[in-house]
A and B are shown apart, each in its own frame.
Chain A
Amino acid sequence: MKKGFTLVEILVCTAILSFMIAAIYGVLNVGNIIYKDDITLVELQQQARQAMYAMVNEIRESAPSRMIPPSGCSQTISFYVAPPVYGDLWVGPISYYLDVNDVNNDGVKDQIIRDDLDPRDPQGPRKILANDITWLNFCVSENSVMIDVAAKKAARGRDLCFPVPYCNDTSKTLKEKVKLRNRNE
């Protein structure tokens, strides 16, 4: 005689399997969300750090008297950098600002934009340094500039931030102090 399964056995088995699959899916889904959040956070971090790196390297080659504004804090900064040949006109003005109103009409806001109309500039007149930036500030003091950057991006209905991952403290920013290497003239 062939032995089979009763309906009850199959129903119980299906129920148990369903619970197991649901539990496994739950774990996998949480893992997937965390993975995607991490990717977003890493992207945010890279955006902010790359922009900071580029700004620091360029502002470093300026001089205290070549900063606009010459002192105080501002969300926009303009400056000139030392020319390749001493005695030539300084290169610039180079400006960094946060594009909150999409001035470059690319449909994307919250970008750090670098403008330089000097035709000698190999980087061209306009360049986007980073996306998803919510805070950009420059504080110019006697011979240095403090730069503050913070980034934020919405992912699956909630915000992810840099440098504080889950936006618990938006007062925290990525800071770097740049010493101006050239002298006043």
Chain B
Amino acid sequence: MNKRGIALIVAFMVIVVLTTFSLVIFVRSMSERSIAQRYVESTQAFWLAEAGVNRALKELKADYSVSSGNCKWETNLGAGRYCVDLGDKDINGRRTLTAYGYVPFTTPARAERKISVLVESSGSNPSNPELITYAIETTGTLRITGSVDIHPSGSSHQNSNLTFEEVFGMTEDQVKAIAISAQDQGAGHVYTNPPANQQPVNGITWVDLTGSNKYSISSNWSGSGLLIVNSNGNDVALDISGAWTFTGMIWVTGRVKISGTPVINGAIFAKSSIDAQSDFSGNATINFNSTDVSSAFSSLGGGGSGELTVLSWREI
């Protein structure tokens, strides 16, 4: 019998065995490699997220009042990219930033790490403009006669409980001190018993009234920023009767009288004594605009020179 054909079978079996060995070794080494690669990418993603945190801290140090947003700062760096979400200021003026590190650049990323950081600025603006939610608000009674355009309609509130300290985050004296300092730097004005149509009104404007004096505005000019009129609270403190345009926040300790055709973009708040009234009459237009209100309060400072403190750093 011819047995020479056995060589083929033996050779075939040897090839099968060797191929199986090679495959097993290849699969194992690939799996080890992929585990190692995952670890490397996860570590890279972590440090990218840390880079994002440091970038955000640098930006916030330069301008703590910078607007919030998702993926506010995003950069491709090294093997991946980072993206930082910045939150609004909370009631204590603190901001949360969430930094994401991704590896690689493409979406979806294979590795992602997240770091959440709560920061506060020692020079930060403690005001809470988000408490202003109406176009017209008063602690006393609101009386509207004639046609007044309020946008959005119904954006008015009377018998409000808001206080100066709640909204400004500091006392009247502290705010006045900021206004005096701003005046020195050309960014604000402080007037005492000003004549009618005293201007300019921009940045932060502080008006002190004594006795029954009032601040009258009757002509066609425009103002902006944060206007604070401080009187004894019983008399008309702010009397607007012309075609005046204002963008920002008006805060009055006393009664407000509006007539004529002024346009106010932002909000107006009148703090009267309990038996006083705020009279809003005439053909005025008052548009509530939270952005204008927020930017008005930014004139209280808080950007630039503040020292940032990391209150909480957590990987999430």
**CB neighbours of A82 from chain B (8 A):** 312-314
Is A60 located at the chain interface by the 8 A CB criterion?
yes
Is A86 located at the chain interface by the 8 A CB criterion?
yes
**CB neighbours of A43 from chain B (8 A):** none
**CB neighbours of B312 from chain A (8 A):** 82-83, 86, 182
Question: Is the interface on chain B under 10, 10 to 19, 20 to 34, or 35 or more residues?
Answer: under 10
Q: Is the CB of A182 within 8 A of B313?
A: yes
B74 to chain A, nearest CB (A): 22
A82 to B313, CA, bound (A): 7
**8 A Cβ contacts from A113-154 to B:** none
Q: Which residue of A lies closest to B96 (CB)?
A: A86
- 14 pairs across A/B with beta carbons < 8 Å? A57-B315, A60-B315, A61-B314, A61-B315, A82-B313, A86-B94, A86-B311, A86-B312, A181-B310, A181-B313, A182-B311, A182-B312, A182-B313, A183-B309
Is A4 located at the chain interface by the 8 A CB criterion?
no
Is A84 located at the chain interface by the 8 A CB criterion?
yes
A62-97 contact mask (Cβ, 8 Å, vs B): 1 or 0: 000000000000000000011110100000000000
Whether A183 contacts B118 in the complex (CB less than 8 A), given A57-B315, A61-B315, comes out as: no
A86 to B310, CA, bound (A): 11
A82 to B118, CA, bound (A): 11
**CB neighbours of B310 from chain A (8 A):** 181-183
New A-B pairs, 8, CB < 8 Å, besides A60-B313, A60-B315, A183-B311: A61-B314, A82-B312, A82-B313, A84-B314, A86-B118, A86-B312, A182-B311, A183-B310
**CB neighbours of A57 from chain B (8 A):** 315
**CB neighbours of B311 from chain A (8 A):** 86, 182-183
B292-316 contact mask (Cβ, 8 Å, vs A): 1 or 0: 0000000000000000011111110
B20 to chain A, nearest CB (A): 18
**8 A Cβ contacts from A166-185 to B:** 181-183
**CB neighbours of A81 from chain B (8 A):** 314
Interface centre among A61, A83, A86 (most CB of B within 10 A): A86
Interface centre among A57, A82, A83, A84 (most CB of B within 10 A): A82
* B interface residues (Cβ-Cβ under 8 A, vs A): 94, 118, 309-315
Q: Which residue of A lies closest to B116 (CB)?
A: A84
A47-58 contact mask (Cβ, 8 Å, vs B): 1 or 0: 000000000010
Q: Which residue of A lies closest to B115 (CB)?
A: A181
Which 9 A-B pairs have CB atoms at the shortest separation, nearest pair first? A181-B313, A82-B312, A86-B312, A86-B118, A182-B313, A82-B314, A61-B314, A183-B310, A86-B311
**CB neighbours of A181 from chain B (8 A):** 310, 313
A57 to chain B, nearest CB (A): 7
**CB neighbours of B313 from chain A (8 A):** 60-61, 82, 181-182
**CB neighbours of A182 from chain B (8 A):** 310-313
**CB neighbours of B314 from chain A (8 A):** 61, 81-82, 84
A181 to B313, CA, bound (A): 6
A145 to chain B, nearest CB (A): 15
A81 to B310, CA, bound (A): 14
B29 to chain A, nearest CB (A): 13
B313 to chain A, nearest CB (A): 4
**CB neighbours of A86 from chain B (8 A):** 94, 118, 311-312
B246 to chain A, nearest CB (A): 38
A84 to B118, CA, bound (A): 11
A81 to B312, CA, bound (A): 10
A32 to chain B, nearest CB (A): 16
**CB neighbours of A84 from chain B (8 A):** 314
B49 to chain A, nearest CB (A): 12
Q: Which residue of B lies closest to A53 (CB)?
A: B39
**CB neighbours of B94 from chain A (8 A):** 86
**CB neighbours of A61 from chain B (8 A):** 313-315
**CB neighbours of B118 from chain A (8 A):** 86
A118 to chain B, nearest CB (A): 15
A183 to B57, CA, bound (A): 15
Interface centre among B310, B311, B313, B315 (most CB of A within 10 A): B313
Q: Which residue of A lies closest to B316 (CB)?
A: A84
A81 to B116, CA, bound (A): 14
A86 to B117, CA, bound (A): 10
A40 to chain B, nearest CB (A): 16
A58 to B41, CA, bound (A): 19
